[in-house]
């Protein structure tokens, strides 16, 4: 009987040790660093053609040789879009870079945001902003190209609203993603990124 008990205890110890080893191995797997933004940079961005506020085709070629900030939103957005664009205008003014770095606003809601709507919306901020729209196919293509999430979701009052990426993308003079500006980071850090982009 004593031998049986000893054997059972040994089995328990082995089982506990095996479980601990599996747990540690699994924890080590999850601590592997995810893909860094730097690895993703070459795959984001690139040439595009959309429709400007004047109703004419707008080519990304007009941005060549300059760094630029690009934000995806929609004109009926309640808070995130106006807050983000207003912040970008303020940061650009602080960097004294109104002519050095364009701000590009691309609608994610082409059904409701035509050239007139994006043009009028861009003018609300009192500083040059390039408002762009396009066909649904064009907007879907550039969302994928720039890694932007945007989908309609139910809304209790409005019936439907757009849920979308709120991060601003900052591209350098060569059209390569240099960094991002998120709503959570402080203005000093964001301003430093803009200053480095135009230096």
pLDDT in tens, 171-190: 999 999 999 999 999 999 99
**Average pLDDT over the chain, rounded to an integer:** 82
Instruction: State how far Cα 56 lies from the chain centre.
Output: 26
| Element at 59 (helix H, strand E) | strand 57-59
Same-domain pairing of 20 and 114: no
Residue 95 has what pLDDT? Answer: 97
Alpha-carbon distance 158 to 76, whole Å?
11
Residue 153 has what pLDDT? Answer: 80
Residue 158 confidence class, pLDDT cut points 50, 70, 90:
low
Residue 166 has what pLDDT? Answer: 94
Residue 2 has what pLDDT? Answer: 42
Same-domain pairing of 11 and 69: no
pLDDT at residue 12 above 90? no
The token pair that represents 162 in the structure block: 């757009």
Residue 154 has what pLDDT? Answer: 72
The token pair that represents 91 in the structure block: 């940061």
Same-domain pairing of 122 and 144: yes
DSSP-derived 3-state class of residue 130:
strand
Alpha-carbon distance 161 to 151, whole Å?
8
Alpha-carbon distance 148 to 199, whole Å?
27
Residue 43 has what pLDDT? Answer: 77
Residue 24 confidence class, pLDDT cut points 50, 70, 90:
very low
Q: How many domains does the chain have?
A: 2
Same-domain pairing of 120 and 171: yes
Radius of gyration of the chain (CA): 25
Residue 113 confidence class, pLDDT cut points 50, 70, 90:
very high
Same-domain pairing of 72 and 109: yes
Domain limits for position 11: 1-32
Which pLDDT tens digit goes with each residue over 49-99? 999 999 999 999 999 999 999 999 999 998 999 999 999 999 999 999 999
Residue 15 has what pLDDT? Answer: 43
Same-domain pairing of 99 and 158: yes
Q: Is residue 6 part of a domain?
A: yes
Q: Is residue 37 part of a domain?
A: no
Q: Indicate which CATH number applies to the domain containing 179.
A: 3.40.30.10
């Amino acid at each position: 009987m004593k031998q049986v008990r000893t054997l059972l205890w040994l089995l328990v110890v082995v089982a506990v040790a095996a479980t601990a080893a599996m747990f540690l191995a699994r924890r080590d797997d999850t601590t592997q660093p995810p893909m860094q933004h730097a690895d993703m940079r070459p795959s984001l961005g690139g040439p595009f053609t959309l429709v400007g506020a004047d109703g004419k085709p707008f080519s990304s070629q007009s941005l060549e040789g300059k760094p630029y900030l690009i934000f995806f939103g929609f004109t009926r957005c309640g808070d995130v879009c106006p807050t983000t664009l207003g912040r970008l205008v303020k940061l650009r003014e602080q960097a004294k870079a109104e002519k050095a770095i364009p701000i590009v606003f691309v609608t994610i809601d082409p059904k409701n945001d035509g050239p007139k709507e994006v043009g009028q919306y861009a003018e609300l901020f009192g500083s040059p902003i390039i408002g762009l729209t396009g066909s649904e196919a064009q907007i879907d293509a550039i969302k994928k190209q720039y890694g932007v999430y945007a989908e309609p979701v139910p809304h209790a009052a409005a019936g439907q609203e757009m849920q979308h990426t709120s991060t601003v993308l900052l591209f350098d003079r060569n059209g390569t993603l240099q960094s991002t500006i998120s709503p959570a980071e402080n203005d000093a850090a964001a301003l430093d990124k803009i200053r480095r982009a135009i230096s």
